[in-house]
Amino acid sequence: MINLTIVRLTLRGLFGRRRFLLLLPLPALIVGLALLAESLGATPPDWGQPVLVGLGFAAVLPVLALIVGASVLGSEIDDGTAVHLLAKPLPRREIVLSKLLVAFVVTAVVVGAGMLLAGLIAGSAELALGLLAGTAVGALAYTALFLALSLLTRRPVLVGLAYILVWEGLLTNLLTGTRVLSIQQYAISVADRVSGTDLFTGALSPQVSLLMAAGVAVVATALAVDRLRSFALTGDTS
Amino acid sequence: MTTVELSGVSRWYGNVVAVNDVTMSLGPGVTGLLGPNGAGKTTLLHMMAGFLAPSRGTVTVDGAPVWRHPAIYRTLGLITEREAVPGFLTGAEFVLSSARLHKLPDPVAAARQAVEMVDLGDAQHRRVGTYSKGMKQRIRVAAALVHDPAVLLLDEPFNGMDPRQRLHMMEVLHQLGETGRTVLFSSHILEEVAQLSGTVQVIVAGRLAASGDYRTIRRLMTHRPHVFTIHSSDDRRLAVALLAKEPVVGVELDPAAGLTVRTSDYGTFTRALPAVAVAERIRVTRVLPADESLESVFSYLVAS
């Protein structure tokens, strides 16, 4: 199911890109702001919601997942190196799952580390653990969605940003019914339930969140696999 | 022995027909896919390689369809024209990753052998990003050959190679053909095809224009009518004198453009022209072959 050669190649490609390395400080921002707030005498109930949810779950997690998810396969298709991988007798499922594993682990580890530290700064190991769990759930659904987008559209980053900003940022705040279709809400709800915190409240039950996150990941991955099976080389037709 | 079969294959993009009802069969040996730029060679190769669905018709390798069938890459090696090589890998790593992705029993030995085959042993531990265009092309050949495929498809493989590299690549392909592999390479350069392969498939405007032994097609090409534009001190008298000669099949006088002469035999005509001019005491100031472009050769083949 998972191909270690693909995993290795993807990791090297990912960390060899400046665009990606520039994003690494993003989770540090969460930690920095938490430290700053604490040093200024603010208490976790003051800074918890804006830093952990407003910055962490609503911005850093989806943006990092977007860049990673859309580039693990998308950038190879853009620069033409994907043929090297696709002209091999590998089931397309194996390619997509290996790429998804890398995107998920990288996103969960990088963002999760920031969230974990921020939780510890707030003085609660349960909160830290909850934030990590929420990040992991969100990372899986987000990266699967954005990986699929990189195969379904030529402008995955644009479409992904529209989803993050318009759907999750705007519509779910205006129309509460749409929250059941928001990955951000799955992450927040799981974090809320695991930590038992009162710093923020999830809008969905943890069962629904987990089920929906898993559903998004499975459907997006199935779409990506099917799309990759029909991958066509375009370009000049000389 | 592996055969690639195309049966009634067409591919269109909207209203544009890129490949039109092509039927061909490729067997062991080197075959050249010849055609002018934009003829549909790349589209055809992509369909043979399973990277494009035919709009109509079927492409099979030993009876198995190639579209949506990745297992075919066990018997098929592919070098596309524009495929890039990950610049962060060394040449050796690139070929080794190819061997590993093929899940070969001994990837290290297979990679070493493939790198030696393209003569890149000295540069194999340098990053591919530092390679010249010709070296990149060769390392791609090594990666495509690492699993010893029965069928090798190459799109414009000689692009960007210097003459020495070109010669070496020709030897490699020739050797592969000799040992029973089915090798197909595309080119828009007649001489490349002539040097490398006995069998050619000529494709023009998406259609298979000629197919078979290169020498037969060459003969067709040499015996096609040639058109010359001539300027002289007396076009009218020269026209009359030339009409009396066997290979000339038509003349046309145009005061502005000069004399246009159609001949059925290039060699005989070019020998006869100076003799006629001397005998008639006419000074010829300019002789221009009017239809020597490859495209005109191809369109003649389509029409014939």
What are A194-204's pLDDT values in tens digits?
999 889 999 99
Q: Where are the domains of chain B?
A: 4-215, 223-303
Q: B15 in helix, strand or coil? A: coil
pLDDT in tens, A211-234: 999 999 999 999 999 999 999 887
Residue A198: inside a domain, yes or no?
A: yes
Residue A36: inside a domain, yes or no?
A: yes
Residue A80: inside a domain, yes or no?
A: yes
Average pLDDT over residues B95-124: 94
Cβ–Cβ below 8 Å for A237 and B84:
no
Range of the domain at A211: 4-229
Confidence of residue B93 (pLDDT cuts 50, 70, 90): very high
Confidence of residue A236 (pLDDT cuts 50, 70, 90): very low
Distance from CA of B13 to the nearest CA of A (A): 10
Number of structural domains chain A divides into: 1
Chain B contact probe: residue of A11, A88, A98, A234 with most B CBs at under 10 A: A88
Residues of B in contact with A12 (CB under 8 A): 86, 88-89
| Nearest residue in A to B153, CA atom | A87
Of A98-107, A163-172, A200-209, B222-231, the one with minimum mean pLDDT is B222-231
Which pLDDT value is given to residue B298? 66
Contacts of A30 (CB under 8 A, 6+ apart): A51, A52, A55, A56, A60, A114, A115, A117, A118
CB contact B40 to A (< 8 Å) = yes
State the Cα–Cα distance between residues A94 and A141, nearest whole angstrom: 18
Q: Which residues of A172-187 are buried (b: 16+ CB within 10 A; e: fewer)?
A: beeeeeebeebbbbbb
- Phi, psi dihedrals of residue B249, rounded to the nearest 5°: -110, -5
- Phi, psi dihedrals of residue A50, rounded to the nearest 5°: -65, -40
Query: CB B54: neighbour CB atoms within 10 A?
Result: 23
Nearest to B298 by CA among B59, B10, B36, B92: B36
What the block records as the tokens of A220 is 């997006």
Placement of tokens 């590993």 in the chain: B100
Contacts of B160 (CB under 8 A, 6+ apart): B133, B134, B136, B137
Environment class of B64 (CB within 10 Å of its CB; exposed 0-12, middle 13-18, buried 19+): exposed
Is the pLDDT reported for residue B191 higher than 80?
no
Is the pLDDT reported for residue B42 higher than 70?
yes
CB contact B181 to A (< 8 Å) = no
Higher pLDDT, B236 or A172: B236
Regarding the domain delimited by B223-303, which CATH topology (the fold level of the hierarchy) does it fall under? Alpha-Beta Plaits (3.30.70)
Question: Edge-to-edge strand order for the sheet containing B258-263?
Answer: B248-254, B258-263, B226-232, B284-289
Contacts of B154 (CB under 8 A, 6+ apart): B78, B79, B141, B144, B173, B183, B184, B185, B186
Cβ–Cβ below 8 Å for A6 and B101:
yes
CATH number among 3.40.50.970, 3.40.50.300, 3.40.640.10, 3.30.70.260, domain B4-215: 3.40.50.300
Cβ–Cβ below 8 Å for A87 and B41:
no
The packing angle between helices A183-195 and A206-229, to 10°, is 140
CB contact A232 to B (< 8 Å) = yes
CB contact B144 to A (< 8 Å) = yes
Confidence of residue A238 (pLDDT cuts 50, 70, 90): very low
Residues of B in contact with A83 (CB under 8 A): 51, 78, 80, 83
pTM recorded for the entire structure: 0.85
Q: B12 in helix, strand or coil? A: strand
CB contact A11 to B (< 8 Å) = no
Helix H or strand E segment including B297: helix B294-303
In sequence order, what DSSP letters do the residues of B127-182 get, joined into one string?
BGGGS-HHHHHHHHHHHHHTT--SEEEEESTTTT--HHHHHHHHHHHHHHHHTT-E
Residue window 58-97, chain A: list those with CB within 8 Å of chain B.
79-81, 83-92
Is the pLDDT reported for residue A235 higher than 60?
no
Distances (CA, A) of A199 to A26, A49, A55, A174, A191: 22, 6, 14, 22, 11
Which pLDDT value is given to residue B221? 67
CB contact B143 to A (< 8 Å) = yes
> What is the overall mean pLDDT for chain B?
89
For A89, the closest of B41, B70, B144 (CB atoms) is B70
Residues of B in contact with A230 (CB under 8 A): 53, 68
CB contact B25 to A (< 8 Å) = no
| Nearest residue in B to A95, CA atom | B101
Average pLDDT over residues B280-301: 76
CB contact A39 to B (< 8 Å) = no
Distance from CA of A228 to the nearest CA of B (A): 9
Which pLDDT value is given to residue A192? 96
Complex confidence, ipTM: 0.90
